[in-house]
Amino acid sequence: MPHLTLEFSSNVRSDGDLTALFAGLHDVLEHTGGVRRANCKSRARVANEFLVGSGSSRDAFVHLDIRLLDGRTLDVRQRISQQARDLLTAWFEPSMQSLDLQVTVEVREIDRRFYSKYPEGTLTPLPLESDLGG
C-alpha cells in the first residue's frame, strides 16, 4: 500500500522515464504520508480513446489516483495531493505549453478492515515529522 495509478491522454508527451516520476511521488508519500517506500506500487496507463471538453485536439488530461489506507488526517491527504500535482505539472511541462492540459490528483482512502496483504506485517505506517513534534 499505497497504489498509484497515473492515467493520461495519448496526446500528452512524456519524454522522460516514468519511473523517475514515480520515485518522486514515492518520496512525497514517504515524507508527507508516512508510507514505507517499499509498499508503494505505481503504474501508468495511456488513454488512446478519450474526449476532454468539446473534443479539440489540444484538449488533454493527466490524472493521478492515489489510494491509501485510511487513518491520515485531512491536512496530510491535502498536502499529498498538492505536492503530487506540483510534481505532475513540472513533469508534463512540455505538454502544458502545447496543449490545454488539465492535471488532477485524487487521494482516496481504503478501509483497512477490507484490505489484505501478504506479508501482513508491512502495513504499519512510518511516524510523520508532525507526529514527532517536528
Residues 102-118: tens digit of each pLDDT = 999 999 999 988 888 88
Domains contained in the chain, number: 1
Longest dimension (CA), the chain: 50
Residues 6+ apart with CB under 8 A from 13: 92, 94, 95, 98
Radius of gyration, alpha carbons of the chain: 16
Can you give the CATH number for the domain in which 69 is found?
A: 3.30.429.10
CA torsion through residues 54, 18, 14, 90, sign: positive
Give pLDDT, residue 122: 65
Q: Which residues span the domain enclosing 50?
A: 3-132
Give pLDDT tens digits for 74-86: 999 999 999 999 9
Tell whether the model's pLDDT for residue 130 goes beyond 60: no
> If you write DSSP's letter for every residue of 34-103 in order, what string do you get?
---GGG-EEEEEEESS---TT--TTEEEEEEEEEEES---HHHHHHHHHHHHHHHHHHTHHHHHHSEEEE
